[in-house]
Structure 1
């Protein structure tokens, strides 16, 4: 099953939420269709036009928004009043604003984390979950992604060395995250942009099993690179503002929901063990491990699995009636 053709939103607006933040919110597809909310990754990646193509526009009311501080949301790049708890409240505010009783949550990477946090908070408002590239926000997940002895660094040592270059003078005095955070929140714009590029490139280089594009094209959008680097670092520095093992400790809240979990076998951004542990904790979930795939939703087999999951969730919705 392939992506659906590109489509434009039927409505776009700015939604005011708490603490002065304004969220870019859009709706695509059938206004009377089954509501499905797309939760982007990062934190800080923002939405792109391509996300709409996972869903059949005849049957789905496709909803997407830029989370606080990224994309077209304002204030851009803001770390103030930007926490997991506030993002959950933003999702609930969108649901209330659109008068939606129940909807499907579709999220990958950090989007899977946010989808799980929302579902744990309000399971009664969820039809089902479609999750990709699971990130559980545990110490071991941060270590896998950022530490010298983590899985990503061990598999990509030359890329990891390039990732450390902007903070070489700080190593041994500060953690990697604190060193980057100091640069990101400094007034030295030249140093800051070099660090943003290095952070963004680290993730881009390890996101796909097969990188077949010119590396200069890995940062096609400086705007996106800025928000992703700043917000990822901000959230990791604060352990995503949730207690250790919070998601696995609260899976009882979502054991009545249909949950599809999709994870690339060779995902080096978010380790496969996270998806497996989540699946083991949820008898109501289905786990698809995609062979010859990494972290990106754009890899062919992963894209197909996500499209199929969205189609199958429609069948489940019909069976519920």
Structure 2
């Protein structure tokens, strides 16, 4: 019976509508003894019918249609709370990207060309200089970097809080945790057959892992779309001849005094390291101040 419950729960996670199909098949089988595709073709798709056979819930009845394997176990599983919860778990709904999300991703990739193409960098840098230029004219460049790090940290936190569904991600993690718990118990009792079934369930859950990845990456494309131009402006300023009129060095702990373009950690230049240090610090302060959670609990 436990094996039947696992099969039904696996179907529920895969597609909640399969439970309705299974219920229809069970009703017909209990009435007629066996069931054929023609008996239920109006209630389900051929794909759903085939999936029930693949799962072993329908078995061949010696050429006289199909019989339901362990009907009592299936009835009990269909009324189980865990199965109902698994059926309500939609791995596609909230994780699908909108057209705007995809356009943001394309735009972010296009702007990345500015790091290697001077014409793109000059165009974006010149355009943003209208906004950031006055700020740079009255403040030291290292302070300007701090201000931009605080700005990017603020909108990055807000985008993650609004575009990531923490409840959905929590469900993904809870699902994987449940599978790992079942695997641990099966391993402790030495049930090789159960381990094989759980291994297959883990393979089926790989699609859910992709959904979780999409959920995490969705706000990143918007963050990149807004942050890459800021980075290009800073890079444009560093390389600009006008920067020769301003101090070109910064003194950082453990690093000492370095020029903005000097490598401090391998190829990582001083201005990039300074930005990342400021960004990480301000981001943590913003999250704590606004009480924003960006990871599932």
TM-score scaled to structure 1, two decimals? 0.20
Q: Which has the higher helix share?
A: 2
